[in-house]
Structure 1
Amino acid sequence: MSASISKIGKALLQKRKSIGVQLFGIVFVSIILIVSVLGFNSYGKSKKIIRDKVSVASQQTLQQSTDKLDFLLSTYAGLTRQFMVDTSLRELLVAVSAKDISVPDKRAAQDKITDRMNSMISAEPNILTIRIIPKDLNINNALSTTGASALLIEGPSEAWLKKMMDAKGNVVFVPMMNKGLFGYSTEPSLTVGRLLKNLKNPEAEYLLLIELRSKLLSDAFANFKLGDTGQMMVVTEDNKIVYAASPELIDTTPPPLGKNMLVLNHTSETTGWKMIGSVPLNELERDSKTILSLTVWMIIAAAVAALLIGYVLIRIIGKPLEKLCVLMEKGENGDLSVRMDYRGQNEIARLSRNFNRMMEQIASIVGRTNESAQQLVRSAKELKAVSLETSSTAGDIASVTTQIAQGAASLAAEAERGIIQTETIGGKMRAATDTNGRLESTAGRVQAVSDQGSAYMRELIGKTEATEQLSRSLVERVSKLKESAGSIYTILNMMNEISKQTNILSLNASIEAARAGASGKSFAVVAEEIRRLAVQSKESIGVVHTITDVIQQEIDATVVDLGSVSPVLAQQNAAVLEAAEIFGGVKSEMNLFVQELAVSTESIIELDSSQKVLVESIGTVSAVSEESAASSEEVARMTTDQLAVSNKLVDLSNQLESLSERLIEQLDVFGGNK
């Protein structure tokens, strides 16, 4: 079997470019891919289903175990409740805590309490000890069952007892401790405690502690199992182990669980502790590995089946196609007698029959083409002879026509040069005409500017005279203003005298009012107001006097400036008159220049007209020469083209003869002439 597979593999490598090998590759890869995807997908799905099922079952088991733990601890919590509601026990505790009780009576009450606790231990083998401790934690007044260990309240035990007192009568569960709550127990114990409240006698309140053996939890979880190697532990809220399969883990921190573990947990409603279960994932996936092994074997079987299918495809498809390719290569090399012998009704059989018919038709076509090629060779030889004669005649005609064209071209060239010289002269005359025109235009603009300047000068003369008149008028007005300022000084002096007289009058009135006594007080007030008004008038007159002085100074400065402006205006008026005379002279000279320029322009225009007539005459001669040269050149070109066509026809005849000979040689390869 392995030898045949090896043989198939070698054949596939040797013919890896064959279509049969390619089909085999497609089938092989498709089968392996489909089987692999289905197998590994089934393995993954089964692994997930098994994990989910085990997870659900383990979670249910964990929940049942938690419910069992809650039931057990609730039983002992109910036992503490019986102590709390027992009226006879309450009376005995009141008697023990009474201060006026005799020692024998106190001892008798303590014995009764101890006997009741001992009888309860006898009925419950899972109870290790029962203790009743005063609320003030005085160990001398504590009561315990027979065989109880020593009592020492300190550290953790004291904290738990205070927590019970803070619970106000609610039950408190103390987690498992290796040496008990007080550190002297010979075996690990779990403690259930609560405060026995007494509202009538608060001094008779005691703490009831029931220590339970670790065997209680061991027996409860003996049948609990998570897989073969799964573990379960009970952990408190502060992350301390209450129960574990290994006793050395009790009262320690749980070890970290690995990533490859299925971890489940459930919280106890009674204690608040967590039941944690863990199972290795390898154990859960152990059964699913059978599916993985089966998948691998299926892939191997599919690979073998794919190899066999590929070999069959190569035999059915590859071999016939390979044979057909070999026959096609022989036909390509000239052997048209090859035929494909393949029988059947499939596509390859149809291809074989079509190949045979195609080869027969090609052989027939090659025979007919060979005969046509022979006739083509004979026609090509005749065409070559005629082309040689035509080429010789066309060469002679082209030579003569070329000489005629050269003479006509020389004549046209000379006429062209005459036209160029004449056009050059005309161009220069037109340039002179344009220059005269521009000069005439410029002269016109200068004349217009000159006229405008003369008008502006006349207007400036008028404005200068008006300015001079205004300046004289302004001098006269300033002089009058200066006289008015002098009048203001006179008025101010009069007002100053009036102010002095008013002041003197107010002083006299004040003196007379003082002489008149009380009857002259009103007159004194009026005199004072008159005096104050006189002072204000004097101050106002001083301010006005100051302003008038400033005005007088400005007027004097203005008179001086106006006096200096008048000579300047007179000089400006004289300069403007002189500029007006100059502009008038320029205008006269420019009129003469424009007249002379117009006469020159008319002469140039007449000369340009004569030159145009000369150019037209020479142009006519040149046109006739050019037409003659063009006709000669056209004849020469046509003759040259005819010669080129004749030469090309000779070349084509040679090529046709060569192609005919090669066609015959190629047809001889296919055996068409046999």
Structure 2
Amino acid sequence: MFKKIQTKIMLSVSVLVAIALISASLFSYFQTKQQIAENVQEQAAGLANDVKSSTELYLDSYGNTVDRYSQDSRLIDYLKILKKDEAKGFNEFWPIVDQDFKHFLELNKNVAVLYVGAETKQFKTSPVLELPEGFDPTGRPWYQAAVQSPEKIMWTEPYEDASSGEYVVTVAKPVIDPETNQVLGVVGLDLSLAGLSGMINQTKVSYNGYPVLLDPKGMALVHPNQQGKDLSKESFVKAMYKNEKGNISYEYKGADRELYYTTISDTGWKLGFVYETNELLKDAQQLFNMILIFASIAVVIALVVTYFLAKSISNPIRNLQKQVQLVAEGDLTVSVEAKSKDEVGTLTHHFNAMVENMRGLITSVSQSVVTVNESTSNLSAISEETIAASEEVSRAVAEIASGATTQAEDADETNRRTLDLSSQIEKVNEQAEMMASLSILAEKANKNGLSQMHILREKTGESNEVLQNIEEVISGLAVKVEEIEQVIQSITEISEQTNLLALNASIEAARAGESGRGFAVVADEVRKLAEQSSVAADKVRKTITGIGAESVRAVKEMKQTKRIAEDQNSTVTDTERAFDEIADTMNQMVNSIQQITSEVEVINNYKDEVVASIQSIAAVAEQSAAASEEVSASSEEQVRALATVSQSAEELNDASTALTEMIKHFKI
């Protein structure tokens, strides 16, 4: 590709320098990239733990407040008195509790409202809120969730407050009577997440990252531009909920991002910090660009230095090249001056010595050529006479050898065919014996198959009887199912009448006032039992209906099975008849195979004698042919040797002539 050594040296050195610098640049880039990733991961993990701790402390402070109120004796007294005297509780005890609530609200602006729901269904808030008439706190999710786990502080999922539009979370805990250990009610507060969002957003995140906070359902509580939106369908959000903490690489809105997250234990919220990959790699990319600039400058410098170095090496070589060209043209009077002691100088010295030796060699060769020409002329004449005599002898011997060879080939071919025939006879004998064995086995298998068909016929009859019995049982089951449905219908009608009577009794008890309260409770219980009976009867009816449908389906399937069994019985009869016909055919085949086997054994005994005789004839013919071929080969070898000598003499004569002409071209 490149013919000049100067160009090769420049390109080789430049490529090596470029490869070394690019490799170093890439190594530095990836090392820096890895170090940045490790630093970011370490910083994000530490930052996540710090913010997590701050968030948990923030939430725990309000959780502890609710826990403290749940054990406050004033609140306990208020809820206990409500059971006895509602007016007294509202007028005397609630103002004391409400005053404490108001003081707490003044100090904690992030709390929207404090409230208490009593087991007796009274509900009080601070500040006072407008509530719908007949509001029952015991039916609210926060109340029921708190009562189910009385020993824990209950946190609801975040929701948007209708009045302020801010996201809030409810914190609640049951109030337990220390004397009876019974639930008196639930105290709770609505905590605005605006303060928590502000605290998290104030966190300084390196590399232009930002914090995110998600609730257990994937709604963004804290996010720079997606706050309040449901992100649960995003792949990276789904991945966050698979582990307590970790990091995720993902693409969002056309940009590669890194997310480091952890979990807030009490609420199950996911706290994370997001970094754009381009921001993380900005420093590494700048370093890589600087290294590439320095590498380019270094390559240019290397090219300049290499140019002068290659020139100092190539100039002496070009001078030596010119002198070698003169020698190639036949001028052996040239000589090159060695100006250096390096490899080029040594090469120049050896070149001068080579030219001197060539001058001496050409002189000696010129003298030897004359002598060789005289000797080759005499040798060529003698060789021609000897070749003529040897050719006559070789022709006679070749005719004898040809006849012997033909005879040996014919005998050998006969021997091969006889051996092939012997091998085929043995194979036929083996196959005949194998056929006899297989026919016996087939006869046994046919008998076994016929026996199994008899058994199958018996089992098919038994199966038909069982199918008939099953069909009768399923038909009876369908009748019973219809009778049960009628009974269930009667139960349902009785339950509806009972429910109506209980409702009428409740109305009459309400009219009776206090004296009819006990009867109203009983009537309510009767109504509930009637409703439960109606629900249970409806479930039983659905189950019985399903059973009835399955019974009808089973009857259809049994009829289909019965038809299949009848077809199967017919098929068994046909198969049994076929097995009888196969048995007759097998008996005839066994007799025929036994006759073939006996005839093949007789042929096998005669073939050994024929093979032995033919092998003896072939051996004698091969010996005769071999002897004739050896004599013929010796004669031909002698003729070829003499021809070679004659040809060599002629070639030597031609070479001497050519050498003489070549020597004339050299200048000594």
Could you tell me whether the CA contact under 8 Å between 2:201 and 2:222 is conserved in 1? no
Could you tell me whether the CA contact under 8 Å between 1:178 and 1:251 is conserved in 2? no
Query: Structure 2 residue aligned with 1:161, among 132, 136, 143?
Result: 143
With over 3 angstroms needed to count, the CA separation of the structure-2 counterparts of 1:80 and 1:247, relative to structure 1, is: farther
DSSP-derived class of the 1:265 partner:
strand
Query: Structure 1 residue aligned with 2:22, among 29, 36, 40?
Result: 36
Q: Does 1:244 align with 2:244?
A: no
Could you tell me whether the CA contact under 8 Å between 2:221 and 2:227 is conserved in 1? no
Residue 297 of structure 1 is matched in structure 2 by: 293
Q: Deviations over 1:482-521 (max 9, x none)?
A: xxxxxxxxxxxxxxxxxxxxxxxxxxxxxxxxxxxxxxxx
Q: Does 1:45 align with 2:26?
A: no
**Structure 2 Cα separation of the partners of residues 303 and 651 of structure 1:** 65
Q: How many angstroms does 1:310 deviate by?
A: 4.2
DSSP-derived class of the 1:225 partner:
coil
**Structure 2 Cα separation of the partners of residues 274 and 648 of structure 1:** 100
With over 3 angstroms needed to count, the CA separation of the structure-2 counterparts of 1:263 and 1:146, relative to structure 1, is: same
Q: Deviations over 1:278-326 (max 9, x none)?
A: 2111111111001221232244234324433543453233343344334
Residue 338 of structure 1 is matched in structure 2 by: 334
Q: How many angstroms does 1:41 deviate by?
A: 1.6
Residue 317 of structure 2 is matched in structure 1 by: 321
AA partner of residue 146 (structure 1): P
Q: Does 1:215 align with 2:194?
A: yes
Q: How many angstroms does 1:192 deviate by?
A: 1.5
Q: How many angstroms does 1:46 deviate by?
A: 0.7
Q: How many angstroms does 1:374 deviate by?
A: 5.0
Residue 668 of structure 1 is matched in structure 2 by: 664
Structure-to-structure mapping, 1:455-604, within 5 angstroms: none
Query: Structure 2 residue aligned with 1:176, among 158, 163, 168?
Result: 158
With over 3 angstroms needed to count, the CA separation of the structure-2 counterparts of 1:150 and 1:46, relative to structure 1, is: farther
Q: Gaps (5+ residues) in structure 1?
A: 1-12, 410-636
Q: How many angstroms does 1:33 deviate by?
A: 1.9
Q: How many angstroms does 1:91 deviate by?
A: 1.2
AA partner of residue 42 (structure 1): S
Residue 46 of structure 2 is matched in structure 1 by: 60
DSSP-derived class of the 1:131 partner:
strand
Query: Structure 1 residue aligned with 2:209, among 226, 230, 238?
Result: 230
Percent identical: 17
DSSP-derived class of the 1:57 partner:
helix
Could you tell me whether the CA contact under 8 Å between 2:117 and 2:186 is conserved in 1? yes
DSSP-derived class of the 1:98 partner:
helix
**Structure 1 Cα separation of the partners of residues 375 and 287 of structure 2:** 84
DSSP-derived class of the 1:341 partner:
coil
Higher mean C-alpha deviation, range 210-219 or range 44-53: 210-219
Residue 271 of structure 2 is matched in structure 1 by: 275
**Structure 1 Cα separation of the partners of residues 103 and 59 of structure 2:** 20
Could you tell me whether the CA contact under 8 Å between 2:51 and 2:200 is conserved in 1? yes
With over 3 angstroms needed to count, the CA separation of the structure-2 counterparts of 1:391 and 1:196, relative to structure 1, is: closer
Residue 145 of structure 1 is matched in structure 2 by: 126
Could you tell me whether the CA contact under 8 Å between 1:242 and 1:251 is conserved in 2? no
Higher mean C-alpha deviation, range 147-156 or range 230-239: 147-156
Residue 117 of structure 2 is matched in structure 1 by: 133
Q: Deviations over 1:338-394 (max 9, x none)?
A: 2233411101110001101211221232234334445666x569x76x998x999x8
AA partner of residue 58 (structure 2): L
**Structure 1 Cα separation of the partners of residues 360 and 183 of structure 2:** 134
AA partner of residue 188 (structure 1): Y
**Structure 1 Cα separation of the partners of residues 220 and 145 of structure 2:** 20
Query: Structure 1 residue aligned with 2:346, among 346, 350, 355?
Result: 350
Could you tell me whether the CA contact under 8 Å between 2:219 and 2:228 is conserved in 1? no
DSSP-derived class of the 1:133 partner:
strand
Q: Deviations over 1:511-548 (max 9, x none)?
A: xxxxxxxxxxxxxxxxxxxxxxxxxxxxxxxxxxxxxx
With over 3 angstroms needed to count, the CA separation of the structure-2 counterparts of 1:231 and 1:651, relative to structure 1, is: closer
Could you tell me whether the CA contact under 8 Å between 1:43 and 1:291 is conserved in 2? yes
Q: Deviations over 1:90-117 (max 9, x none)?
A: 112222x13345x366323222222221
**Structure 1 Cα separation of the partners of residues 6 and 138 of structure 2:** 85
AA partner of residue 28 (structure 1): S
Could you tell me whether the CA contact under 8 Å between 2:123 and 2:136 is conserved in 1? no
Which is higher, the Rg of structure 1 or of structure 2? 1
AA partner of residue 284 (structure 2): S
When normalised by structure 2's length, the TM-score is 0.53
Could you tell me whether the CA contact under 8 Å between 1:175 and 1:242 is conserved in 2? no
Higher mean C-alpha deviation, range 78-87 or range 22-31: 22-31
With over 3 angstroms needed to count, the CA separation of the structure-2 counterparts of 1:308 and 1:279, relative to structure 1, is: same
Could you tell me whether the CA contact under 8 Å between 1:150 and 1:184 is conserved in 2? no
Aligned length: 404
With over 3 angstroms needed to count, the CA separation of the structure-2 counterparts of 1:247 and 1:336, relative to structure 1, is: closer
Residue 262 of structure 2 is matched in structure 1 by: 266
When normalised by structure 1's length, the TM-score is 0.53
Q: Does 1:363 align with 2:359?
A: yes
Q: Deviations over 1:257-288 (max 9, x none)?
A: 43322111112233332212221111111110
**Structure 1 Cα separation of the partners of residues 644 and 123 of structure 2:** 142
**Structure 2 Cα separation of the partners of residues 649 and 345 of structure 1:** 52
With over 3 angstroms needed to count, the CA separation of the structure-2 counterparts of 1:278 and 1:150, relative to structure 1, is: farther
Q: Could you say which structure has the greater relative contact order, defined with CA pairs below 8 angstroms and 6 or more residues apart?
A: 1
DSSP-derived class of the 2:299 partner:
helix
Could you tell me whether the CA contact under 8 Å between 1:149 and 1:184 is conserved in 2? no
Residue 113 of structure 1 is matched in structure 2 by: 97
Could you tell me whether the CA contact under 8 Å between 1:164 and 1:171 is conserved in 2? yes
Residue 55 of structure 2 is matched in structure 1 by: 69
Could you tell me whether the CA contact under 8 Å between 2:337 and 2:348 is conserved in 1? yes
DSSP-derived class of the 1:205 partner:
strand
DSSP-derived class of the 1:263 partner:
strand
Could you tell me whether the CA contact under 8 Å between 2:48 and 2:262 is conserved in 1? yes
Higher mean C-alpha deviation, range 164-173 or range 44-53: 164-173
**Structure 1 Cα separation of the partners of residues 215 and 284 of structure 2:** 36
DSSP-derived class of the 1:239 partner:
coil
With over 3 angstroms needed to count, the CA separation of the structure-2 counterparts of 1:151 and 1:226, relative to structure 1, is: farther
AA partner of residue 131 (structure 1): Y
AA partner of residue 197 (structure 1): I
Q: How many angstroms does 1:87 deviate by?
A: 1.3
**Structure 2 Cα separation of the partners of residues 391 and 47 of structure 1:** 88
Q: How many angstroms does 1:67 deviate by?
A: 0.3
Q: How many angstroms does 1:129 deviate by?
A: 1.1
DSSP-derived class of the 1:226 partner:
coil
With over 3 angstroms needed to count, the CA separation of the structure-2 counterparts of 1:253 and 1:229, relative to structure 1, is: farther
Q: How many angstroms does 1:133 deviate by?
A: 1.4
**Structure 1 Cα separation of the partners of residues 298 and 192 of structure 2:** 63
DSSP-derived class of the 1:264 partner:
strand
Query: Structure 1 residue aligned with 2:171, among 173, 185, 192?
Result: 192
Could you tell me whether the CA contact under 8 Å between 2:116 and 2:124 is conserved in 1? yes
Query: Structure 1 residue aligned with 2:106, among 95, 98, 122?
Result: 122
**Structure 1 Cα separation of the partners of residues 65 and 57 of structure 2:** 12
**Structure 1 Cα separation of the partners of residues 646 and 148 of structure 2:** 131
Q: In angstroms, what is the RMSD of aligned CA positions?
A: 4.0
Could you tell me whether the CA contact under 8 Å between 2:197 and 2:221 is conserved in 1? no
